[in-house]
Amino acid sequence: MTQAQPRPPAPFTSDEYAARMRRALADATQAGLDGLIVMPGPELVWLTGYRPTAITERLTALVLVPDREPTLLVPVLERPDAEAAAGAPGLTMVDWADGEDPCARAGALVHPGATMGISDSAWAMHLLGLQEAVPGSSYRSLTHSLPMLRAVKDERELARLAAAGAAADATYEQILRVRFAGRKETDVAADLARLLLEHGHEQVDFTVVGSGPNGANPHHEAGDRTIEVGDAVVLDFGGLMDGYGSDTSRTVCVGDPSARLREVHEVVRQAQQAGFEAVRPGVACQEVDRAARKVITDAGYGERFIHRTGHGIGTTTHEPPYMIEGEEQPLVPGMCFSVEPGIYLPGELGVRIEDIVTVAEAGGQRLNNTARELRVVE
Amino acid sequence: MTQAQPRPPAPFTSDEYAARMRRALADATQAGLDGLIVMPGPELVWLTGYRPTAITERLTALVLVPDREPTLLVPVLERPDAEAAAGAPGLTMVDWADGEDPCARAGALVHPGATMGISDSAWAMHLLGLQEAVPGSSYRSLTHSLPMLRAVKDERELARLAAAGAAADATYEQILRVRFAGRKETDVAADLARLLLEHGHEQVDFTVVGSGPNGANPHHEAGDRTIEVGDAVVLDFGGLMDGYGSDTSRTVCVGDPSARLREVHEVVRQAQQAGFEAVRPGVACQEVDRAARKVITDAGYGERFIHRTGHGIGTTTHEPPYMIEGEEQPLVPGMCFSVEPGIYLPGELGVRIEDIVTVAEAGGQRLNNTARELRVVE
């Protein structure tokens, strides 16, 4: 089963990280912010290459403000790891020790009364500490204040996302050859995880195997249910490869599909195609959702498509832009996101088909390219 | 290598979860709070048994206020999973769909002007949404407002922590028999992970293998360094078993230890013993830190013990109470925490010895019981 591993791409350089930090601060200024506070997570990885081994109560914060060098405040214990990050040469590193108040230390880098952007997933505990430490300061989440900060990928990021997508596709091709009938969902999920790792992923984020009625719960992961002949099985899997995400879904049938499954699957396939075809520069995100949803609504299943059509992907598997009604952000070349309509029939079955799509000048381009027709497995 | 798996303990019942929610609200009221907002993470697991498969931008929030039933707001996609949680019978479940504003929905359950406790690791994005949705509301992190909420474990929690500790001990006994010299740190770390899983852990949180100079970085995980004869190797590993944490450290030597390593190791061993012996009901947490630190300071290594002596453990591997200077919280029977002094000599070596200790009426009781003497490996 082992295959040739993809050649690892050259790492991003400290100059590239420095350029990202400069652009982030320029975007923040343009958006009316006085600076950014970035905590561990996808934004910090994107800006500095630094991913702490664990995200804990010990504060790590990148502070970007116009009047000083980018400053990373880290627990003294974690300083050696932070210094090893690819973006470290572009940072002033400051450490703090147990017993000190790190929020006061971070707050000292922020002007009183400043309006700062802050990472979505920063801990509430740390935000409250900053609000207390800096009189009159106010905060806006990065998703609300700078939603498109990481949304447009450069060529090297696109290459990574394409490689991650190809690895997910290879995983799908191989999972079609394993046995489904009589095995548990968790067994097939373990196969998916193993294959993603074999194909070069360093991290598996989700391996959904939703068989029969479990497929009707879009967020069901994989359980003890034994897969039966006749089941529709939703497969939705992905993770990180060289720091960038994969995420694809296909729905297969164990043995001959029923007429009902064939019908529902075909509606979802056409909806996915319609969503994909709506992708081109300048079109609002919500138009992608509308295009996919219209096919499902017209077929009479509108009430059974209970989630948005897609989400962005990059250094994390869920990020802006979101393909959802009300999102008027126009698509820009280099954006990457999922197009993943589904139909969920409670107690019966679910069908979802998902590709990552990137926006090119001429329209959408798929980063997942396995067949979207209903495949039969054993 | 496989051994008999420990018998899984009976799950907590919905009545037990309901009692925890009542107690949490009573404690909150006593602390001057108008209620609690609990987001996914260790507090939510402890209060409801619910652990979403992923923690994302989609808001999940448990709202505990005096004038209504405990209410769990969940994304409609995740409702089936939430309803399957052991604590669900004690909850009013409310769902929201993509496109709605979940912070406004959660905020509608909170009185204007209320002071609410909120989970430490709640997303800043969601806290900002609540602050905007509820005029005049203010928030305090659970660690600051109710630090001891989960600190005192009941008998069944203690049984789980003891079982997790025994599994970590069995892992240590077996790792002593693997080869160290000539292998990479990451190879030994993989052995530790495999052994923890074999001994019943469902989740591995960390597998530190710090050899030679890498041992001097307390948060070094495991790297490409090839372990050499003569190296001191810090091993620090743990994870979750039946939802409760393990965390133990030992330092071993590959072949004959130097006089310097013997000396430093003996200082740390005595410091760990002194910290352990300081544990008894009514003693302030900081006294445990002081007792361990005094031994190291008296031996002339005070500057090289660069972290607190310990942290609580329960449904997560890092939680209050913290054994640190300035923490005046008295120890209470049922508390569980690490006692883990260390000495770190940059460029040379590190030594750390760690046991989980619980407070009994008569004093401390170790949940890790492998030999703390310096062991030689091959």
| Last residue within a domain, chosen from A98, A123, A145 | A145
pLDDT at site B3:
41
Q: 3-class SS at B226? A: strand
B-interface mutation test, from A121, A214, A286, A313, most B Cβ less than 10 A away = A121
Claim to verify: residue A110 and residue A253 sit in the same structural domain: no
B275 is written with which tokens? 């910290």
* Chain B residues with CB-CB distance to A218 below 8 A: 77
Name chain A contacts of B75, Cβ cutoff 8 Å.
219
Report the chain B residue with the minimal C-alpha distance to residue A80: B217
Q: How far apart are CA B67 and CA B137, in angstroms?
A: 17
A33, A118, A219: best to mutate for the B interface, most B CBs within 10 A: A219
User: Looking at the domain assignment, is residue B2 inside a domain?
Assistant: no
Give the Cα separation of B155 and A271 in Å (integer). Answer: 54
Q: CB of A347 within 8 Å of any CB in chain B?
A: no
- Residue B152: beta bridge partners? B335
Q: Is the domain of B127 the same as that of B215?
A: no
Cβ-defined contact of A77 to B318 (cutoff 8 Å): no
* pLDDT tens by residue, B58-87: 899 999 999 899 999 999 988 988 999 999
Chain A nearest CA to B55, separation (Å): 10
Is the CB of residue B97 less than 8 Å away from at least one CB of chain A? yes
| Residue numbers of B between 234 and 273 with CB closer than 8 Å to A | none
Last residue of a domain, one of B87, B119, B145: B145
**Inter-chain contact A56–B325, Cβ cutoff 8 Å?**
no
Measure Cα distances from B8 to A86, A268, B25, B160, B332 in Å.
44, 42, 30, 9, 27
Q: For residue A124, give the amino acid letter.
A: A
Say if A144 is an interface residue toward chain B (CB within 8 Å).
Answer: yes
Interface A-B: count of C-beta contacts within 8 A: 115
Q: Which of A318-322, B12-16, B267-271 tops mean pLDDT?
A: B267-271
Same domain, residue pair B169 and B141: no
Are A340 and A238 spatial neighbours (Cβ–Cβ below 8 Å)? no
Residue B165 lies in a domain: yes
Contact B6, B163 (CB under 8 A): yes
Residue contact A307–B217, C-beta within 8 A:
no
Whether B6 has a pLDDT exceeding 60, the answer reads no
Q: Number of structural domains, chain A?
A: 2
Q: Are residues A72 and A191 in the same domain?
A: no
pLDDT at B8: 59
Q: Nearest-CA residue of chain A relative to B80? A: A217
Predicted pLDDT at B77: 83
Cβ pair A355, A366 in contact under 8 A: yes
Contact criterion met (CB < 8 Å) for B53 and A324: no
Answer whether residue B188 is part of any domain.
yes
State the complex-level ipTM.
0.83
Touching check for A155 and chain B: CB below 8 Å?
Answer: no
The radius of gyration computed from the CA coordinates of chain B, to the nearest angstrom, equals: 22
Write the CA distances from B356 to A53, B8, B176, B292, B303, integer angstroms.
22, 21, 20, 15, 24
Say whether the peptide bond before residue B321 is cis (omega within 30 degrees of 0).
Answer: yes
Residues A175 and A126 in one domain: no
Q: Cα dist. A368→A170, A311, A335 in Å?
A: 10, 15, 15
Cβ-defined contact of B128 to A122 (cutoff 8 Å): no
The closest CB to that of A143, out of B57, B98, B218, belongs to: B57
Q: Could you tell me if residue B8 is inside a domain?
A: no
Closest in B77, B220, B324 to A307, CB measured = B77
Within this chain, do residues B236 and B367 fall inside the same structural domain, yes or no? yes
Q: Is residue A165 part of a domain?
A: yes
Specify whether A359 is located in the same domain as A324: yes
At residue A98, the pLDDT reads 82
The secondary structure of residue B307, as a DSSP letter, is S
Kindly calculate the radius of gyration of chain A based on its CA atoms and give it in whole angstroms: 22
Neighbours of B375 (CB within 10 A): 15
Residue A7, classified by CB atoms within 10 Å of its CB into exposed (0-12), middle (13-18) or buried (19+), is exposed
A87 & A125 share domain: yes
Residue with token string 């990457």: A336
Q: What angle do CA A231, A208, B51 make, to 5 degrees?
A: 125
How distant is the alpha carbon of residue B200 from its chain centre?
Answer: 18
Centroid of chain to Cα A59: 24
Last residue of a domain, one of A112, A145, A178: A145
The reply to whether residue A127 touches residue B126, judged by beta carbons under 8 angstroms, is no
Taking an 8 Å cut-off on Cβ atoms, the answer to whether B306 and A220 are in contact is: no
Question: d(Cα B181, Cα B179) in Å, to the nearest integer?
Answer: 6
Q: Under an 8 A CB cutoff, do B318 and A119 touch?
A: no
Report residue A42 as tokens: 């996808």
Say how far apart CA A312 and CA A357 lie, in whole Å: 9
| B53 close contact with A: CB closer than 8 A | yes
Q: Which amino acid is at B221?
A: E
**CB atoms < 10 A from the CB of B267, how many?**
21
Q: Does B202 touch chain A (CB under 8 A)?
A: no
At B54, phi and psi to the nearest 5? -145, 150
B326 touches chain A (CB under 8 A): yes
pLDDT tens column, B201-227: 988 899 999 999 999 988 788 888 999
Give the closest of A81, A123, A318 to B56, CB-based.
A318
A321 prior amide bond cis, ω within 30: yes
Phi, psi of A25 (to 5 degrees): -70, -40
Query: Do A357 and A336 touch, CB atoms closer than 8 A?
Result: yes
- pLDDT tens digit sequence for B346-373: 999 999 999 999 999 999 999 999 999 9
Q: Does residue A308 belong to the interface with chain B, where contact is any CB pair within 8 Å?
A: yes
A123 shares contact with chain B (CB less than 8 Å): yes
B324 lies within 8 A of chain A by CB: yes
- Three-state SS string across B189-223, please? HHHHHHHHHHCCCCEEEEEEEEEHHHHHCCCCCCC
Domain for residue A246, yes or no?
Answer: yes
Q: What is the domain-level CATH number for residue B124?
A: 3.40.350.10
Asked if the model's pLDDT at residue B7 lies above 80, the reply is no
**Is there a domain that residue B3 lies in?**
no
**Length of chain A measured in residues:** 378
Instruction: Let me know whether B262 and B166 are in one domain.
Output: yes
- Report the sign of the C-alpha dihedral through residues A94, A97, A102, A105, in that order: negative
Closest in A57, A118, A220 to B80, CB measured: A220
Q: Is B127 in CB contact (< 8 Å) with chain A? A: yes
Nearest CA to A53 out of B307, B186, B246, B181 is that of B186
Q: Tell me the C-alpha to C-alpha distance, in Å, between residue B266 and each of A270, B251, B259.
A: 70, 11, 11
Under an 8 A CB cutoff, do A98 and B308 touch?
A: yes
CA distance B283 to B267: 23
Q: Which chain A residues contact residue B218 at CB under 8 A?
A: 77
pLDDT per residue rounded down to tens, chain A (378 residues): 334 444 556 789 999 999 999 999 999 999 999 999 999 998 999 999 999 877 888 899 999 999 899 999 999 888 988 999 999 999 999 999 988 999 999 999 999 999 999 999 999 999 999 999 998 999 999 988 999 999 999 999 999 999 999 999 999 999 999 999 999 999 999 999 999 999 999 888 999 999 999 999 887 888 889 999 999 999 999 999 998 999 999 999 999 999 999 999 999 999 999 999 999 999 999 999 999 999 999 999 999 999 999 999 999 888 899 999 999 999 999 999 999 999 999 999 999 999 999 999 999 999 999 999 999 999
Same-domain pairing of A109 and A180: no
Residue-averaged pLDDT of chain B = 94
Nearest to B76 among A80, A143, A306 (CB): A306
Give the model's pLDDT for residue A57. Answer: 84
Q: Do residues B131 and B163 both lie within one domain?
A: no
The torsion of the CA quartet A311, A316, A320, A321, rounded to 10 degrees, works out to -50
Angle at B2 between CA B1 and CA B8, to 5 degrees: 145
Site from B44, B77, B293 to mutate, A interface, most A CB atoms within 10 angstroms: B77
- What distances in angstroms separate CA A160 from CA A50, A240, A367, B135, one per listed residue? 18, 10, 10, 45
Token pair, residue A162, equals 């394409």
> Do the chains contact at A306 and B218, CB–CB below 8 Å?
no
Helices (H), chain A: 14-30, 42-48, 79-83, 102-107, 124-133, 142-145, 155-175, 185-198, 259-277, 285-298
Give the span between the Cα atoms of B277 and B337, in whole angstroms. 14
Domain with B264 in it: what CATH number? 3.90.230.10
Nearest to B231 by CA among B207, B255, B197: B255
Sign of CA dihedral A80, A82, A84, A90: negative
Residues 6+ apart with CB under 8 A from B142: B36, B38, B43, B117, B118, B119, B120, B149
Pairwise CB contact (< 8 Å): A324 & B123: no
The residue-averaged pLDDT of B279-291 equals 98
Residue type, A1: M
Give residue B323's pLDDT: 97
> Closest partner residue to B99 among A206, A219, A324, by Cβ?
A324
Distance, CA of A367 to CA of A75 (rounded, Å): 39
* B51 inside 8 A of chain A by CB: no
**Do A217 and A210 touch, CB atoms closer than 8 A?**
yes
Domain span at A74: 14-145
Enumerate residues 6+ apart whose C-beta is below 8 A from A95. A73, A74, A75, A76, A79
**Domain contains B304:** yes
In a shared domain, residues B141 and B169: no
Query: Taking each helix axis from N to C terminus, what angle separates A155-175 and A185-198, rounded to the nearest 10 degrees?
Result: 140
